[in-house]
Amino acid sequence: MDPSPSGAAIVALGQVEQDLVRLLQVAGSAIAILSGNVKDGELSDADARRTEMEAKTHEYFQVLNRVQNTLRQQIHGLIQERVIPAAPSSSSMPFHASVYGEQKELDSWVGALQAVKQGIRRISSASIVKQEEETDR
């Protein structure tokens, strides 16, 4: 391992790359669960799907938070080393000082979370209906 700050930054950014791959994997798994596109026998009951969906959602946001924190640390380091300016003085900045973009991203994630919750509710109510039908027999 390189003990220099640039070596540590490269290692941290390498981890971010791996985390981004993991985000895509977790998102794909969540979509498969919501669509019912899981292997036969896996997650056949609604409670198992709900539990797995909650676990995938939790993991997704943990990894996303880790990516955001690492990127913010790296940007802060670049500002401290004067590689990039601290104030938005040019259009070549790799990020915006405004929070508009972050607010839009937050709105998107809130919408995605609501969609996930609706999917969980739909799975849950389908399971309840199925159980009631089986009980009525």
Per-residue pLDDT in tens (0 to 9) along the chain, 137 residues: 446 777 888 888 889 999 999 999 999 988 888 887 776 556 667 788 888 889 999 999 999 999 998 888 888 887 777 777 776 555 544 555 555 666 677 778 888 888 888 888 888 888 877 777 777 77
| Angle value at C-alpha 97, between 91 and 100, nearest 5 degrees | 105
Classified as helix, coil or strand, 91 is coil
Cα(50)–Cα(20) distance, integer angstroms: 24
Domain ranges of the chain: 5-136
Q: DSSP letter at 90?
A: S
The structure tokens listed for 126 are 């389908």
CA-nearest of 94, 102, 123 to 30 is 123
Identify the burial level of 56 via C-beta atoms within 10 angstroms of its C-beta, where 0-12 means exposed, 13-18 middle and 19 or more buried. buried
